[in-house]
A and B are shown apart, each in its own frame.
Chain A
Amino acid sequence: MEEQKPKLKMAVYWAAACGGCCVSVLDVHEQLFDVTAAADLVFWPIALDTKYEDVEKMPDKHIDLTLFNGAIRNSENEHLAKLLRKKSKLLVAYGSCSHMGGIPGLANLSSKEDILRRVFEECESVSNPDNIRPVPEYKIKEGMLEIPEFYNDVRSLSQVVDVDYFIPGCPPQTERLVEVFTAIVTGAELPAIGSVVGADTKAQCEECTRKKSENKKIKKFYRPWEIKDDGETCFLEQGVICMGPATRAGCGHRCIKGNAPCRGCYGPPPGVADPGAKMMSAIASIVDEKEPGEISRVIEDIADPAGYFYRFSMPVSLIRRKVL
């Protein structure tokens, strides 16, 4: 009997995240009643009995599905990643931070020391004559106060534990989450472990609504504010960096609909290991120059290539971090 099937035990956890992934879950709107009818949320720090210790007491593989969002930035994030791996049948990296490091992963362009110095000593509004910094353990007269250790590197979830599936996006499209959720609840056959789900298999450009011409060549790259966007033509053809060629489709072209170029939050399409390498070849193919020197000159116009090409993926890229 269908109704005797036990309800799915589900957990949602955030690590170094902004909360946008949790909002994307809430953005199921009126379908929220269906979700709570199909699944019991057994761990969701924002909404339920939250003590980590209670998760520790659960038998291994007690949770059917864990949506883990956020990157691994500190010791608490790492601890929870390992704990939830142990307690979950399916561990899903939900959203760009968990999938690839996301925006917090840009911090791999600096060091822990650079960040702490800037935030607690150099910021112009800071008044900190003794150069005090937060420390993991601090003794006060009443006892000990503890906060997690801030790591030097940001890592994606799969760099810390084995991950079963990846749902990309910053945040993931809610409709796609519902698709994946429905598949799991109904017991549909799931793709191979380690797959990206809730997204398409093509590159953004193949589904983009903007107009592309054959063999269009450009002589110069522009910043978005340097051109008058016509609202219709491919951004790359207008000379504006757009991550479409190196990004998996499936987001519904939300930035394009807002007349902004793609920044790659869905990660590279299948078969592409590194979005930066893919972008470099895509860019080289549209530059209207023959001489390697001239091509280099055009490409040098691109401000901050690392920040464009690896906006959401620095920790899992070939570069991984800036060598300091």
Chain B
Amino acid sequence: MKKITIDPITRLEGHGKIEIFLNDEGEVGNVYFQVPELRGFEKFCEGRPVEELPAITAKICGVCPGCHHMASGKAVDAVFGVEPPPTAKKLRELFYMAHFVHSHTAHFYALAAPDFVVGPYSPPTKRNILGVIEKVGKEIGKEVIKQRRFAQEIQALLGGHQTFVVMNIPGGVRRGLSNQERDDIVNKANGFIEFAKFTLKIFEDVVLKNNEYVDIILNGPYSLRLHSMGLVDSNNKVNFYDGKVRVVDTEGKELYKYSPGEYLDYVGEHVEPWSYLKFPFLKKIGWKGFVDGQSSGLYHATPLSRLNASDGMATPLAQKEYERMYSILGGKPVHATLAMHWARLVELLYSAERCLELASDPDITGKELRASIGPIPGEGVGIVEAQRGTLTHHYWTDEKGIVTKVNLIVGTTNNHAPICMSIKKAAEGLIKKGVEVTDGVLNMIEMAFRAYDPCFSCATHCLPGEMPIILEIREPDGQLLKRLVRD
């Protein structure tokens, strides 16, 4: 059995590793996506005062600290049995929209764009953010960095610091917004909308007008028929901060819609001995292994699954883009993995529009920032949509609010099994007997998991933004047959 190792592919609460085993015919036998990192937040949060958890759990991921801070803040509210006043809720969501603008922008330009703007078959040295800038112009590169900075500045203003977020306190937020600060955010949000429209235009011009790319998206080995999960508001429109979790099946029919407190009835986690990360599945269907299709218990929790699981977007421009995407891709639901990039841009536009809506809301500069606290019920669940999937925090405390137990189901974790399967499918489609495994093949395999923006790609938001890969094909005795380096 030959073994191909892609190690480290990096970040996902640590690092990641892909093992591709070839059978004696030179075809793909099996693929394992392993997460070698564990830190154990579920255990060491025990004994802490529960109000400290929004800041502590933000350290699960320094790339999406705001997501953990929000899910945690909501779980803490529930532990105390309080509902934040309207101003506090809107300030939290405003922060959260800036968080989405920052993350989705970085992902598209640093990670996704190199494959499409520069091209999947272009030389590896050009297939990075610098190559994108070269192609679209340095001015646009500067604009990307500027918009990302603006989004970070809004988070820092509301959260104390953009990474070490200290915004939430039980029943509300620690800091309000002045009129002047509000005006500044309104200006920035207007800029975000223009920038999101511009980004969709790039996607249109570069990807959609290129038949070859559209063919890769729709017909490449990048499709997985799984159920779709996403948070929706009372009108079944996409919402990132609040609502119910809706799951639709592979045909788009609603399977479940549950409140955060009910998640244990719907989601289970499977354990494998070869990865420190667990494998969530739909409990009512059960763990059926690494299989797709209507009878599978696996689901996607991604930008695309959020759109699949909803009836639309709550803002006008994003709704138009939502309709356009599904009309071009042949209706709902879409299972093409690479369409996640498009869905992410629809969400970018929504985040920008919602940012402006919230900043323009008269409540946003209100002075009532905290609800008063009564007796402590001692158990609470908080769910938000992280950029990389539905995020669940569940806490139990004693009567003083000291944590006794913690359970977490983290964004990318939802997609652990689907990522394994997407890589396998891409590898199977691309590595065949007699076909030379070239750098281009490597990149095409890599594109399968890059679409998920799994947390390791968060880190790839750094320059030059290209995930390096080394692929080794070895004989069963470990002797190196072939080594490919893509730097």
Contacts and interface: CB of A to CB of B under 8 A. Distances in A.
Partners in one complex: yes
Interface of A: 14, 16-27, 29-30, 32, 36, 44-52, 73-74, 76, 102-104, 106-107, 109-110, 114-115, 118-120, 123-128, 132-135, 138, 140, 142-143, 145, 147-148, 150, 170-171, 223-225, 229, 254-260, 263, 265, 303-304, 307, 311
Contacts of A225: 51, 80, 169-171, 370, 373
Given A224-B169, A265-B164, A110 B271 contact: no
Ranked nearest first, the 6 interchain pairs of A and B with the lowest CB-CB distance are A20-B62, A258-B160, A49-B487, A260-B166, A115-B40, A46-B459
B287 to A, nearest CB: 7
B278 interface: yes
B44 A106 contact: yes
Given A20-B65, A47-B466, A126-B269, 4 more contacts: A29-B146, A126-B278, A142-B21, A147-B274
Interface stretch (B10-18, B228-236, B247-255, B427-435): B10-18
Contact of B470 (A50, A114, A304): A50
B63 A119 contact: no
Contact of A223 (B36, B37, B51, B465): B51
Q: Identify the interface centre among A74, A103, A110: most chain B CB within 10 Å of its CB.
A: A103
Nearest to A104: B39
Given A103-B56, A115-B44, A127-B269, A45 B163 contact: no
Given A107-B44, A123-B42, A46 B273 contact: no
Interface in B430-487: 455-456, 458-468, 470, 476, 485-487
B459 A19 contact: yes
B174 A260 contact: yes
B261 to A, nearest CB: 12
A119 B49 contact: no
A88 B58 CA distance: 31
B52 interface: yes
Given A47-B465, A307-B52, A19 B401 contact: no
A19 B455 contact: yes
B121 interface: no
B39 A16 contact: yes
A132 B461 CA distance: 35
Contacts of A171: 62, 163-164
A171 B163 CA distance: 7
A132 B272 contact: yes
Contacts of A49: 468, 470, 485-487
A223 B38 contact: no
B43 interface: yes
Nearest to B9: A50
Interface of B: 1, 3, 7-8, 10-11, 13-15, 17, 19, 21, 29-30, 32, 34, 36-40, 42-49, 51-52, 55-56, 59-63, 65, 80, 142, 145-146, 148-149, 152, 156, 159-167, 169-171, 174-175, 263-264, 267-276, 278, 280, 283, 287, 370, 373, 394, 400-402, 405, 407, 409, 455-456, 458-468, 470, 476, 485-487
A27 B152 contact: yes
A19 B402 CA distance: 28
A150 B276 contact: yes
A65 to B, nearest CB: 16
Given A128-B271, A258-B161, A19 B174 contact: no
Q: Identify the interface centre among B163, B174, B464: most chain A CB within 10 Å of its CB.
A: B163
Given A19-B455, A147-B275, A225-B170, A263 B55 contact: yes
A11 to B, nearest CB: 13
A224 B49 CA distance: 10
Contacts of B462: 22, 25-26, 44, 46-47
Contact of B39 (A23, A73, A134, A148): A73
A307 B50 CA distance: 11
A76 B152 contact: no
B7 to A, nearest CB: 8
Contacts of A107: 39-40, 43-44
B373 A115 contact: no
A51 to B, nearest CB: 5
Q: Identify the interface centre among A25, A45, A102, A304: most chain B CB within 10 Å of its CB.
A: A45
A18 B60 contact: yes
Contacts of B51: 223-225
Nearest to A314: B44
Nearest to B30: A142
A224 B272 CA distance: 41
A134 B273 contact: yes
A102 to B, nearest CB: 8
A61 B43 CA distance: 39
Nearest to B270: A127
B37 A74 contact: yes
A14 B461 CA distance: 15
Nearest to A109: B44
A46 B11 contact: yes
Given A225-B169, A255-B160, A258-B160, A125 B264 contact: yes
Contacts of A17: 14, 62
Contacts of B464: 47-48
